[in-house]
Amino acid sequence: MQHGGWGLSRRANIKAELKKCGDLGDIAITCKSKQKLLFPPPPLTVRSLYKDFRSIAEMEVSPSILLNHRGASRRTARWA
């Protein structure tokens, strides 16, 4: 019998792990690390990162966005 996409044995395993270690966050990290991706992401390279950062730096931004950003940073500086 399935409930919410989880088998009952899976739910029981999680409850048993919770009793053993006491931290649901640790259990979630363990479960997530066991999951496989359907399509793994391409490897990060210095060349690809440089290309992406360069394209971000060369983006044209309207002056109104820059003014709004400056105003927002001034407002948040008061709260820090």
* More confident call, 64 vs 41: 41
Structural contact between residues 52 and 44, judged by C-beta atoms closer than 8 angstroms: no
**DSSP strand pairing (2-3 vs 6-7):** antiparallel
Confidence of residue 70 (pLDDT cuts 50, 70, 90): low
Q: pTM to 2 decimals?
A: 0.33
C-alpha dihedral over 44, 49, 51, 57, to 10 degrees?
A: 160
Backbone torsions φ then ψ of 54, nearest 5 degrees: -65, -45
For residue 57 the two structure tokens come to: 């730096």
Using one digit for the tens of pLDDT, what is the confidence trace for 36-47? 778 888 888 999
Distance from C-alpha of 72 to C-alpha of 67, rounded to nearest angstrom: 9
